[in-house]
Chains A and B, each alone.
Chain A
Amino acid sequence: MLTPALYLSAVLFVVGTLGVIVRRNAIIIFLCIELQLNAVNLAFVALSRYTGIEGQLYVFFVMTVAAAEAAVGLAIIISIFRHYETVNVDKFNVLKW
Chain B
Amino acid sequence: MLLDYGSSFHYVLALLPELVLAIWGMGVLLAGAYRKRDGSSGQEAGWLALAGLALAAVANGWLHSGVSEVGAAGMIAVDRFRLFANWVLILGAGLSVVISLPYVARQKLQAEEYYCLILFAVVGMMFMAAARDLMIIFLGLELMSIGVYALAGFNRRDRRSAEAGLKYFLLGAFSSGFLLFGIALVYGAAGTTNVHAVAMAVADGTAASALMVPGAALLATGFAFKVSAVPFHMWTPDVYEGAPTPVTAFMAATVKTAGFVAFLRVFLVGLEGLHGEWADVLWWISAITMVAGNVVALVQSSVKRMLAYSSIAHGGYLLVALVAANDTATSGMLFYLLVYTIMTVGAFAVVVTVGNQSEANARIEDYGGFGWRKPVLGVFMTVLLLSLAGFPGTAGFIAKYHLLLGAAESRLWTLSVILVLTTVVSYWYYLRVAWYMWMKEAPEGVDSAEPAVTPFATRLVLAASVAVIILAGVFPGAALDLAAGSAEGLRGVSEAAGSAAGP
**Chain A residues within 8 Å of B160, by CB:** 94-95
How far is A73 from B323 in the complex, measured between Cα atoms in Å?
35
Shortest CB-to-CB span from A31 to chain B, Å, is: 11
Picked from B165, B184, B241, the residue with its CB within 8 Å of the CB of A79 is B165
Is B188's CB within 8 Å of the partner chain A?
yes
Picked from B163, B170, B184, B238, the residue with its CB within 8 Å of the CB of A40 is B184
Closest to A80 in B: B162
**Chain B positions 40 through 59: 1 when the CB is less than 8 Å from some CB of chain A, otherwise 0:** 00000000000000000000
**Chain A residues within 8 Å of B169, by CB:** 72-73, 76
How far is A77 from B153 in the complex, measured between Cα atoms in Å?
10
How far is A61 from B140 in the complex, measured between Cα atoms in Å?
12
**Chain B residues within 8 Å of A40, by CB:** 177, 180-181, 183-184
Tell me if A79 and B170 are in contact (CB < 8 A). no
**Chain B residues within 8 Å of A94, by CB:** 159-160, 163, 242
Tell me if B159 and A83 are in contact (CB < 8 A). yes
Shortest CB-to-CB span from B251 to chain A, Å, is: 15
User: A69-B146, A72-B169, A95-B238 are known contacts; what are 18 more A-B pairs with Cβ within 8 Å?
Assistant: A9-B184, A20-B170, A26-B170, A33-B173, A36-B174, A40-B181, A44-B184, A47-B184, A65-B138, A69-B173, A76-B153, A79-B162, A79-B165, A80-B165, A89-B170, A94-B159, A95-B164, A95-B167
- A residues whose Cβ falls under 8 Å from a Cβ of B: 6, 9, 13, 16-17, 20, 26, 29-30, 33, 36-37, 39-40, 43-44, 47, 50-52, 54-55, 58, 61-62, 65, 68-69, 72-73, 75-77, 79-80, 82-84, 89, 92, 94-97
Chain B interface residue count, Cβ-Cβ cutoff 8 angstroms: 37
**Chain B positions 142 through 174: 1 when the CB is less than 8 Å from some CB of chain A, otherwise 0:** 100010011001001001101111110110011
12 contacts between A and B (CB under 8 A): A29-B170, A36-B177, A44-B184, A52-B191, A58-B193, A65-B139, A76-B162, A79-B165, A80-B166, A83-B159, A95-B160, A95-B241
Is B326's CB within 8 Å of the partner chain A?
no
Shortest CB-to-CB span from B216 to chain A, Å, is: 16
Tell me if B142 and A69 are in contact (CB < 8 A). yes
How far is A62 from B134 in the complex, measured between Cα atoms in Å?
13
How far is A79 from B151 in the complex, measured between Cα atoms in Å?
13
Interface SS of B by simple majority: helix
Shortest CB-to-CB span from A26 to chain B, Å, is: 6
Tell me if B166 and A77 are in contact (CB < 8 A). yes
Shortest CB-to-CB span from B147 to chain A, Å, is: 9
**Chain B residues within 8 Å of A52, by CB:** 191
Shortest CB-to-CB span from B318 to chain A, Å, is: 25
- Given A33-B170, A76-B166, A95-B241, A62:B234 Cβ within 8 A: no
Tell me if A30 and B173 are in contact (CB < 8 A). yes
**Chain B residues within 8 Å of A36, by CB:** 174, 177, 180-181
How far is A68 from B323 in the complex, measured between Cα atoms in Å?
34
Shortest CB-to-CB span from A71 to chain B, Å, is: 8
Q: How many inter-chain contacts with C-beta < 8 Å in the A-B complex?
A: 120
**Chain A residues within 8 Å of B183, by CB:** 40
Tell me if A39 and B188 are in contact (CB < 8 A). no
**Chain B residues within 8 Å of A77, by CB:** 166
Closest to A52 in B: B191
Tell me if B181 and A13 are in contact (CB < 8 A). yes
**Chain B residues within 8 Å of A72, by CB:** 146, 149-150, 169
How far is A83 from B184 in the complex, measured between Cα atoms in Å?
39
Picked from A26, A39, A51, A82, the residue with its CB within 8 Å of the CB of B181 is A39
Closest to B181 in A: A40
Closest to A43 in B: B184
Shortest CB-to-CB span from B489 to chain A, Å, is: 27
Closest to B162 in A: A80
Closest to B170 in A: A29
Is B135's CB within 8 Å of the partner chain A?
yes
Is B187's CB within 8 Å of the partner chain A?
yes
Tell me if B170 and A30 are in contact (CB < 8 A). yes
Is B200's CB within 8 Å of the partner chain A?
no
Residues 178 to 199 of chain B near chain A (Cβ within 8 Å)? 180-181, 183-185, 187-188, 191-193
**Chain A residues within 8 Å of B192, by CB:** 51, 54
**Chain B residues within 8 Å of A30, by CB:** 170, 173
Closest to A54 in B: B193
**Chain A residues within 8 Å of B150, by CB:** 72, 75-76
Shortest CB-to-CB span from A58 to chain B, Å, is: 6
How far is A30 from B173 in the complex, measured between Cα atoms in Å?
8
Tell me if A92 and B184 are in contact (CB < 8 A). no
How far is A61 from B193 in the complex, measured between Cα atoms in Å?
14
Shortest CB-to-CB span from A91 to chain B, Å, is: 10
Residues 88 to 147 of chain B near chain A (Cβ within 8 Å)? 135, 138-139, 142, 146
Tell me if B181 and A68 are in contact (CB < 8 A). no
